[in-house]
Structure 1
């Protein structure tokens, strides 16, 4: 009976929409285009390294990344680990012009006339010794987000459809302690108890810390009259810490911030970088994209973290993207959903239950016997992550005004 009720409810929900003659392919790709991936140039780590790589117009790793993008050909694409370069002509627009607009290995050129980049917290110095190693070094673990220089591991959005730039919201500056019931890192006491433990951060540090390790973005895109909110983030990996689990707790709360933002009535505490209280209203089309560093199954899964999104009634996680290449990583059936070479589903494209039908999904990960394996054989070939994509059918509500 329960299944029947759910089925009738879903049928009623779908019946309230009319189908547009429109499909939309949305993808996310952690491309490893940050300076430490180009040490052969002999340059000190900075955003100038990627600018140099892009100006050369002939870097094999970047050409392979461009070929993957051309093969999948998404309409909207988030790039993670694309160093932030404020001058777009030397950064994201140079990538589009010199690599995506140029046919790679016989593939057709693709164009993205609308792009968006913004500052991130990685490498932005603080005055504190946040990693408690006895030195306030202003970079690495002592930055607002781990990074050797400002903008390392940045993000970029590319779109074939117009970005509504005036409506973009960013949450780079949101303070962690402003989240109700935030997961405060505590170093356990000798008896192992948290109750008797010592806070990892001083009060001054805690009240200064930004939650987002990179940034959280809400980037609205106009798709033939329908507004789609691209919700992008790249939470910190939940490791590289100790018993205090500071990165694990931060990863949880970074994901929670987006879960609260998209859940009506839950995100009233959230403010954007313009100082405005901001959360999504009911009946809003959105697509969550990014390397969330949160496995949903297997030995790297942390309970109740990614489930904040995948089990939300507002998020459609029914069709999980898979690949043959991922399936070959282990004997476990769930390995076909892996998106990173180290064996986890880390990268996600999750549409709203409202306003879309999911038509297809996949992970670009050719098996080792494929001629295309050359594109993914190691990090030097392209990245240690794989592109994830979902094809959506855009629905228009009969009683909802855009």
Structure 2
């Protein structure tokens, strides 16, 4: 049994101990995802903010200590070439006992310039001209933190959008763009985690582009959909070329899909079918984590027209004129794993850490699974 730091995590742990008594039980691990909003407009500024203990950085660290995941994907965590921001943040977490001995933060497409004027503004170096929207290479990066050793990792940053199976790339896309535009706005990862029971857990991670900020061609909506469909292709056994040139299918073992997928299955502007299909995939299960805070926050403005379960919302976005709060962050474990608990850490106003929770416009989504 993992002893978790933080009042919230400790309470869950003690309650489980009381329930189980003294009998030997299988180990439970906590898996989470969090869009931490730790991105800055200029390269190197997150390094400065982490090292100077910026208030937002401290608030994000407090939230993570409270939930104390064993494995977590953090999105919107700027990536610098030397890994100083990530290393400093891991050190900050460890100061109060949340130690991550293993991490992975591969390269991302955000801020990687294409050399083309993708948005037609006469410039070739704006954030819209990058492979993924970003002001500099590594902007809006992501990192996987783990208490358990990381094994073989496959990354799928370089695959072309036009080469994706049944691609939705607009037919109006110029040939020179189709020849260089990558599918992943950041990257797609398959990271193997060595679990205490001897199994290897495949963490499938991504942070697709938001399906907004475009025109009637719905370019971003189409790309978001195809980035989500990548998971379906991989889960269905399609052999996909990784960044090392290896063409292979997903290997055996349990999986978990993690990330801010920027798609709500019922509301918002994302295409519905890919997200609904992923949630219903026979290889996965959807624990449908909830929070009381989301219910309280989901009143007024665009929220009043939403069809989806308000308690499952994970992002606190503008209510008027919209899009309102949405469910966009997901932890989807393998269908063979036993889920013992789940939640969205969204404190109600006045509750402990309610102020710290506003350090990001997303909330931590976590799922506890029992190892066989």
- Corresponding residue for 1:315? 284
Q: Distance in 2 between matches of 1:202 and 1:221?
A: 40
Q: Distance in 2 between matches of 1:68 and 1:55?
A: 18
Verify the 8 A CA contact 1:255 1:308 in the aligned structure 2. no
Please point out which of 280, 302, 320 is paired with 2:250: 280
Q: Distance in 1 between matches of 2:291 and 2:269?
A: 19
Please point out which of 356, 360, 367 is paired with 1:390: 367
Verify the 8 A CA contact 1:20 1:394 in the aligned structure 2. no
Q: Distance in 2 between matches of 1:235 and 1:168?
A: 19
Verify the 8 A CA contact 2:262 2:270 in the aligned structure 1. no
- Corresponding residue for 2:322? none
- Corresponding residue for 1:161? 148
Task: Give the length in aligned residue pairs.
Answer: 334
Verify the 8 A CA contact 2:114 2:180 in the aligned structure 1. no
Alpha-carbon displacement from aligned partner over 1:333-386 (angstroms, at most 9, x marks no partner)? 7111010002000100001113x111111011000131321112x3xxx21110
- Corresponding residue for 2:4? none
Please point out which of 33, 56, 74 is paired with 1:28: 33
Q: 1:299 Cα deviation (Å)?
A: 4.4
Q: Distance in 1 between matches of 2:144 and 2:102?
A: 8
Please point out which of 124, 127, 140 is paired with 1:137: 124
Q: Distance in 1 between matches of 2:274 and 2:213?
A: 17
Q: Distance in 2 between matches of 1:148 and 1:299?
A: 26
Q: Distance in 1 between matches of 2:74 and 2:311?
A: 22
Verify the 8 A CA contact 1:139 1:149 in the aligned structure 2. no
Structure 1 residue 101 and structure 2 residue 94: aligned? yes
Structure 1 residue 120 and structure 2 residue 108: aligned? yes
Q: Distance in 2 between matches of 1:62 and 1:240?
A: 28
Please point out which of 339, 342, 354 is paired with 1:361: 342
Q: 1:184 Cα deviation (Å)?
A: 2.0
Once the two structures are overlaid, the 10-residue window that deviates more, 305-314 or 251-260, is 305-314
Runs of at least 5 residues in structure 2 that lack an aligned partner in the other structure = 1-23, 318-324
Which structure would you say has the larger Rg? Answer: 1
Q: CA RMSD in A?
A: 1.6
Q: 1:228 Cα deviation (Å)?
A: 0.3
SS at match of 2:262: coil
Verify the 8 A CA contact 1:316 1:352 in the aligned structure 2. yes
Alpha-carbon displacement from aligned partner over 1:134-162 (angstroms, at most 9, x marks no partner)? 42422311100000101100000110000
Alpha-carbon displacement from aligned partner over 1:375-400 (angstroms, at most 9, x marks no partner)? 12x3xxx21110100000122xxxxx
Q: 1:287 Cα deviation (Å)?
A: 0.8
Once the two structures are overlaid, the 10-residue window that deviates more, 137-146 or 73-82, is 137-146
Verify the 8 A CA contact 2:65 2:98 in the aligned structure 1. yes
Q: 1:222 Cα deviation (Å)?
A: 0.2
Please point out which of 289, 292, 297 is paired with 1:324: 292
Structure 1 residue 84 and structure 2 residue 79: aligned? yes
Verify the 8 A CA contact 1:124 1:139 in the aligned structure 2. no
SS at match of 2:46: helix
- Corresponding residue for 2:329? 347
- Corresponding residue for 1:72? 67
- Corresponding residue for 1:237? 210
Verify the 8 A CA contact 1:34 1:50 in the aligned structure 2. yes
Alpha-carbon displacement from aligned partner over 1:61-112 (angstroms, at most 9, x marks no partner)? 1111111111101000110000012213x12121111x20123xxxxx2100
SS at match of 2:309: helix
Verify the 8 A CA contact 1:127 1:136 in the aligned structure 2. no
SS at match of 1:306: helix
Give the alignment's TM-score, normalised by structure 1: 0.80
Verify the 8 A CA contact 2:161 2:181 in the aligned structure 1. yes
Verify the 8 A CA contact 2:51 2:88 in the aligned structure 1. yes
Alpha-carbon displacement from aligned partner over 1:9-37 (angstroms, at most 9, x marks no partner)? xxxxxxxxxx972211100000111113x
* 4+ long deviations beyond 4 Å: none
Verify the 8 A CA contact 1:122 1:143 in the aligned structure 2. yes
Q: 1:130 Cα deviation (Å)?
A: 1.5
Verify the 8 A CA contact 2:107 2:138 in the aligned structure 1. yes
